[in-house]
Amino acid sequence: MPAESSQPGSLWLVFVLMTVVTWGVYGVFLHGGQMAMGDPVHGRYKAFLWVGIAYFFIAVLAPVLLLKAGGAAWSMPGRGIALSLVAGAVGAVGAFGVLLAFGAKGQPAVVMSIVFAGAPIVNAVVALALHPPPGGFAALRPQFYLGILLAALGGTLVTLYKPGPAPAAKPGPGIERSE
C-alpha cells in the first residue's frame, strides 16, 4: 500500500475505479452465489455466510498484516472504533438487504440499479446534514441539485428500461418438441 503523501496525484482514481468495478459486479456474483447454493429457502443465508468469510480474510487479516508490517501503534481512539464498527454494520446490513431483495423476487439488475442510484443521494444528504456547507444549503450550486435529480432519474430509467431476458430458443430442424 502506498504511503500517504501531501502531493496530489491520480492514484486515488485508480482505487475509485477498482471500487466501481468490484461493487458493480457485487450483485451479479452475490445473486449467482445464492442461486448456486441450490437451496431456494436458505441459499441467500448460505451465500451471505461466505460473503462474511471473504470479508474476514480481506477486511480483517489484510489490515492486520499491513499494520504489523508498517509498525503501526495499536492504540485506537474509541470514537474511531465506534464509527468504524457502525460503518461495518451498515455495510453488512446493506449487503444483507440486497440478498433479501433477491429472495423476495427482486431482479438483480433492478435491485442493484436502485441501490447504486440511491446510495449517492443518501450519501450526499447525510454528509450535508452532518457537515453543512459554509453559507448553508442556499450556498449549494444548482448543479448539485441537478446531479441529485440526474442520479434519481438515471436509476429510474435503468430500472424501467433494463434489457429483458433472452427470448426462449426455438427448436431447430430435427429437434422434436415434447408437449
Is 2 inside a domain boundary? no
Domain of 137, in residue numbers: 107-163
Whether residues 47 and 100 share a domain: the answer is: yes
pLDDT at 24 (0 to 100): 86
pLDDT in tens, 48-89: 999 999 999 999 999 999 999 999 999 999 999 999 999 999
Longest dimension (CA), the chain: 75
Residue 67: CB partners within 8 Å, gap ≥ 6?
74
CA distance 81 to 61: 17
Confidence of residue 7 (pLDDT cuts 50, 70, 90): low
Number of domains in the chain: 2
Q: Which runs of E-coded beta strand occur in the chain?
A: none
Task: Judge if 94 and 158 occupy the same domain.
Answer: no
Does residue 149 share a domain with residue 66? no
For residue 30, count CB atoms less than 10 angstroms from its CB and return exposed for 0-12, middle for 13-18, buried for 19 or more: buried
Q: What is the pLDDT of residue 167?
A: 77
Residue 173 domain flag? no
Q: Could you tell me which residue, 171 or 100, shows the higher pLDDT?
A: 100
Q: Which three cell numbers stand for residue 49?
A: 455466510
When pLDDT is averaged across residues 97-110 and rounded to a whole number, the result is 88
**Could you report the per-residue pLDDT of 105-132, keeping only the tens digit for each?**
888 888 888 998 999 999 999 999 999 9
